[in-house]
Amino acid sequence: MTMVPSASVDGRVAVPDAAHGAPRADSRSRPRGAPGAGGDRVAAAVLLAPNVIGFSLFLGVPIGASLVLSLFDADGFGAYDFVGLANYGRMLGDPLFGQSLLVTCLYVLGMVPGVFIASLGLALLVNARLPLRGLFRAAFFLPHVVSLVVIGLVWRFLLVDKVGVVNQVLEPIGLGGISFLGDSRYALATVLAVSIWFYMGYYMIIFLAGLNDIPSEYYDAAKVDGASAFGMFRHITWPLLRPTSFFVLVVSTVAAVSGAQAFDLIYVMTQGGPANATSLGMFYIYQQAFQFNNYGYASAMSATVVLSLVIVTGALFAVTRAGRFDDE
């Protein structure tokens, strides 16, 4: 006997059950806007609310307050004089601020590709089937668990002018007399090298996560076809690491431009010297705010740095197509 679908009271179609022959309601015909959809939206709003509130309170409000403060001449002792865009005009005529931006650009140009290449190389090394590779992974990541202040103090001791451990090691090859932190020609490069050494373990872990997500069957098939190690890296590893590479590129660029990766090291090792050779933009902002009590001027410079971060990050998204790098 042929079963004919029947209409239920609420308008939904009753479909015969294959096992018992009893009609059942077809859930696919439920109209849009049913109570279940509204419940999903409420659940999503509840889950997102803590993050939205936290972001607004701890990031949105301070950024907004800093933008407002940039329009005032504030000395930190209760005096607020509205000056409009005068603080921004002051930046254009401040040679020290221009020098700090130049130092920041040099630091970014050295830090981002340096830490990218170093961390990717370490990830490829410790991802290979080597004895004690777990020990090597821990050793490379270990510096990152130590405070940057402690790292700066240790390296300042190792780099003491002409008598430090590094100078003693380099003495046999004729480089023992270099003042790594006291000479403006070497100070920024020294801070940059310490920064790369400190952060490469952290980004190595991120690259390792990306490498472990690549199916091993791809490499097995490539070996059967006679592909070389470089060929497998070029045609398998690198294309499938693009999302991870994009993440590392964006995070390291933002951290380098904002000075978050080097502020502690510079504060402990060089104090921005010698002759402002290591004074990044963020360190100069710190000096203006907390040493010279120019809070309005420091806020204006902070707003400029934030704007530059937005531009740089947007350019990275546009050039790499949000990590896709091409139209494939």
Element (H, E) at 299: helix 295-320
Rounded Cα gap, residues 220 and 20, in angstroms:
50
Structural domain boundaries in the chain: 95-320
Phi, psi of 11 (to 5 degrees): 95, -10
Which residues fall within 8 angstroms of residue 199, CB to CB, at 6 or more apart?
115, 119, 144, 252, 261
CA 47 distance to own-chain centroid: 25
Per-residue pLDDT of the chain (328 residues; tens, 9 = 90+): 444 444 444 444 444 444 444 445 444 444 554 445 567 889 989 999 999 999 889 888 888 888 999 999 988 777 888 998 999 999 999 999 999 999 999 999 999 999 999 999 999 999 888 788 889 899 999 988 898 999 999 999 999 877 788 888 888 887 777 888 988 999 999 999 999 999 999 999 999 999 999 999 999 999 998 999 899 999 999 999 988 999 999 899 988 888 777 889 999 999 998 999 999 999 999 999 999 999 999 999 999 988 888 888 888 888 877 666 554 4
**Among 116, 308, 127, 266, CA closest to 200:** 116
Please, what is the end-to-end C-alpha distance for the chain in angstroms?
54
CATH number of 95-320: 1.10.3720.10
Give the tens place of pLDDT for each residue, 266-289. Answer: 999 999 989 999 999 999 999 999
Q: Express each pLDDT in 125-179 by its tens digit.
A: 998 887 888 898 999 999 888 989 999 999 999 998 777 888 888 888 877 778 8
Distance of CA 184 to the CA centre of its chain: 28
